[in-house]
Amino acid sequence: MAEVAVRLENVSMRFNLNRERVDNLKEYFIKFLSHKLSYNEFWGLRDVSFTVEKGERLGILGLNGAGKSTLLKVVSGVMRPTFGTLETYGDIAPLLELGAGFDPAYSGGENIYLYGATLGYSRNQVKGIWQEIVDFAELQDFIDVPVKNYSSGMRARLGFAIACMVDPDILILDEVLAVGDKPFRVKCEAKIQSLFEKGVTVLFVSHNLEQVQRLCNKAILLEQGRIIAAGDVDSVAAVYQERSGARPRLAGKK
C-alpha cells in the first residue's frame, strides 16, 4: 500500500478582520480591554480534505484569494487550523516567502546556518552542504555581506538553495520558481526535477498553469477556500481554465 505523506480532514481556517482602524498598540489594548473591538469573520479555508501519498506532486490551483497560500501555511505548520485535523510524515521544507526567516544583520553565510536550523538541521549537517548552497545561489562574492544589503532576488536565491539542498521529504512551493533571471529559473526547475527522482513529495502553488501541468501529476482547485475539483492534473487544469480563461497544456505530455 502507498504511504501517506500529507493528510487533511475537514480543515478550516478562520480569520478575524478588524472593522475599524486602530492606529497604535495603546489604542488596541484600550479597545480590547473595554470590549470595543469588533471583527468580521473571514474563512480562508472551509472543510478542506485530501491525501497526498509519498512521491506524489500535487498542484494547488485557484484565483487570487482562493486560499492557496493559506493552505500551504497550514500544511507547513506556520498556521494552526481553526478546525479539522492535519497529519504530515517526514521533514518539511516550506518555500513560502523565500528569505523571510533571515536575520538582516547577519551575513549570507551565517544565515545559511540560521535558516537550516529553522528547518531542523544540525550545524554539522548544514556545514556539509554549505559550499553547495553558496554555489547554487551564485553568491560566492557576496556570502560575507550582511543580508540587509542583498536585493530581494539575492535573498530569494539563497532561501531556495538552502531549502532544496537539505534534502526534505516534503517540499512546499509557493510561486517560488519565478525567482531570478531565466537561467536561474531553469536551474531551479532542474533541481526540483532531481528531487522528484528521489521521491520527494511536492505541494506546488503557481499561477503558471503550464508549469503546474509539467511538474505535477495531481491537482486540486480551490475557490473561496473550498475544494471544487480534485484529480489528475489535466482534468483539474481543464476546470481551472474554464473558470479563469487560463490556457492549459495538452494532455499526454508526461
Q: What is the pLDDT of residues 182-208, one digit of tens each?
A: 788 788 888 888 888 888 999 998 888
**Domain edges within the chain:** 4-244
- Provide the 10 A C-beta neighbour count for residue 20: 9
* Full-model pTM: 0.76
Q: What pLDDT score was predicted for residue 253?
A: 47
Higher-pLDDT residue of 245 and 139 is 139
Architecture of the CATH domain 4-244 = 3-Layer(aba) Sandwich (3.40)
What are φ and ψ of residue 31, in 5° steps? -70, -35
Chain centroid, CA 217 distance in Å: 18
- Provide the 10 A C-beta neighbour count for residue 125: 15
Burial degree of 14 (CB within 10 A; 0-12, 13-18, 19+) = middle
Q: What is the pLDDT of residues 5-54, one digit of tens each?
A: 999 999 999 987 665 665 556 555 555 556 665 667 789 999 999 999 99
Dist CA 193 CA 191 (whole Å): 5
Least confident of 65-69, 136-140, 144-148, 188-192: 188-192
178's grid cell: 519565478
Higher-pLDDT residue of 145 and 118 is 145
Least confident of 94-103, 108-117, 137-146: 94-103
Going by pLDDT thresholds of 50, 70 and 90, the confidence category of residue 231 is very high
Question: Which residues does 208 contact at the CB level (< 8 Å), separation at least 6?
Answer: 177, 178
Per DSSP, helices labelled H in 93-227 are 108-118, 123-137, 152-165, 182-197, 209-215
